[in-house]
Structure 1
């Protein structure tokens, strides 16, 4: 009987030890699984966060660049161009005969009814050409040649160093029965106190001028169809 009880005790102890080892093994497995699951979850969240940041940054850059580039490249309106011209004229002094060199050339073909005045800025700085040239062709006619209002530009003419301005001038209708007089030189006065210059008439024999038909346009950057047709 004692022998039987001894075997039972040994078996019981062995069984308890095996059971304890089983519990330890199960507990270790659960811990590793939870740890692996937690790491996977953290990696997933981390990747998701990176993707989220990428989309936000991309969206921010796209909207910022698009709106900036789009708003900065528009063409200025006519009103803005005129306003800019007035600001430039306010900053640039009036041109004088010391700032510009005035010359005359025939315009069109025979009969030569028009000439073109060119005022080139030789001063080395910007200046503003005011209004129209005040022209006197003949000593016997002291009045200035009348200006054509439709040729007035929308904004003041500001000449940079080396730049020219133009004015179209009508001298006659080209008829043989006109009261034309030969002119080899004439005077041009710049408005605003710019002084007077003597200008040589174009052509070897000068030009034929009918004082009753003479007209002048305003100073402009270039001759314009329509506005300078008179």
Structure 2
């Protein structure tokens, strides 16, 4: 009986020892496996750093940087295009105003009567003979008679909206009133008269009056229109 109890006690002690041994082994296994996982993650990060690879955060930063760079480039390109367009997208009026003024050497001026008798109006035609573009400014400066040194007044309503630029061979026109056509007017015969251009007042152009006997002019009633690319009803009626 004593031997049986003694044996049971030994078996119980042996079972307890086995259980403790297994627990200790399991603990060692868990402890060893955790650092291995950590070491693997750290090693991977180190390897990536050594290989020049970026983490997800770095990749996001690179993407943002690329987008910013593209936006900056697009902005510069757009600004450049706008400047280029502005430099080249000037208006016709601005381009015309920059064209050099016509001088007496650039044009030939002729006169013709308008409508039938009594001939109260002349049409001056200035034709560009220079072979290059020039600009006719303002109205012709006209003196019909030697005894009247004042220029014929210009009619403001005939002024065109934009500068008149003559390309090579192109004409411009100015309507000139020389009298009212009345028989009781103080008219004088005019076979030729002088014209000067704005910007070239020192050079006088002698213009032959139309007709065999010239025209009858009353300097007190005379008026002139501005140079225009064409005569316009209304603006040139005076």
Shorter-chain TM-score above 0.5: yes
Q: Are 2:218 and 1:221 equivalent residues in the alignment? A: no
Q: Which runs of 5+ in 1 are unaligned?
A: 1-81
Q: Are 2:220 and 1:212 equivalent residues in the alignment? A: yes
- What CA distance in whole angstroms lies between the structure 2 residues aligned with 1:211 and 1:199? 16
- What CA distance in whole angstroms lies between the structure 2 residues aligned with 1:152 and 1:169? 13
- What CA distance in whole angstroms lies between the structure 2 residues aligned with 1:87 and 1:121? 18
Match of 1:87 among 78, 84, 95: 95
Give CA-to-partner distance per residue, 1:68-125, whole Å, 9 cap, x none: xxxxxxxxxxxxxx941232231x2100110000000000111100000000000000
The equivalent of 1:153 in structure 2 is: 160
Q: Which residues in structure 2 correspond to 1:173-188 (within 5 Å)? A: 173-188=180-195
**Aligned residues between the structures:** 148
Q: Which residues in structure 2 correspond to 1:46-125 (within 5 Å)? A: 83-90=91-98, 92-125=99-132
- What CA distance in whole angstroms lies between the structure 1 residues aligned with 2:131 and 2:161? 25
CA change 1:132–1:208 in 2 (3 A) is same
Match of 1:167 among 149, 153, 174: 174
TM superposition shift of 1:178 = 0.1
Residue 150 of structure 1 aligns to a residue whose secondary structure is helix
Query: Which structure would you say has the larger Rg?
Result: 2
The equivalent of 2:147 in structure 1 is: 140
Residue 135 of structure 2 aligns to a residue whose secondary structure is strand
Residue 200 of structure 2 aligns to a residue whose secondary structure is coil
Match of 1:201 among 178, 190, 209: 209
- Kept in 1: contact 2:96–2:164 (CA 8 A): no
- Kept in 2: contact 1:85–1:158 (CA 8 A): no
The equivalent of 1:6 in structure 2 is: none
Q: Which runs of 5+ in 2 are unaligned?
A: 1-89
Q: Are 2:144 and 1:128 equivalent residues in the alignment? A: no
The equivalent of 1:69 in structure 2 is: none
State the TM-score, normalized to the length of structure 2.
0.61
The equivalent of 1:190 in structure 2 is: 197
